Structure 1
């Protein structure tokens, strides 16, 4: 379930994971961001630069191990009440969206 730039994921172990969505730079069609030729007067431009690792699309912010005793089947958010609703083993539970308790 999405909450702003956060994604909440319920696992079959009963844990809850909270991820942050990162903004990714637009991809270049040719795979090269530099369209200008390197200056021949600059010696630093002759040494190859190591490729930068691609930015990660998400970061794990938090994992709540004992969120549920059973597999989490479904999650929903009630924005007006800042409440997270979880369905697990045919039971509905309400949690504070800030603390996940």
Structure 2
């Protein structure tokens, strides 16, 4: 499982750099029973945010909510914030 997570993180990093659709990747992972956790979503949001692509970070979270194929809120590893909470934290804490 750790190997698959490492590979997924690499894919996410490449997709963010190339302007690809990260939310589609996470949705496809969910379709083949590889349930992406909050750490993968946090990775994508952090990559967008650190690259100063804040609008894309917000759009990524919107897509996650819109698609509904990847759970939000408490469905993420017992965390209550989910992708929206993590994005809000990035907006408030990290300029």
TM-score of the aligned structures, taking structure 2 as reference length: 0.24
Higher RCO (C-alpha under 8 Å, 6+ residues apart): 1
Give 1 or 2: higher strand fraction: 1
Give 1 or 2: higher helix fraction: 2
* Higher gyration radius (CA): 1
TM-score of the aligned structures, taking structure 1 as reference length: 0.23
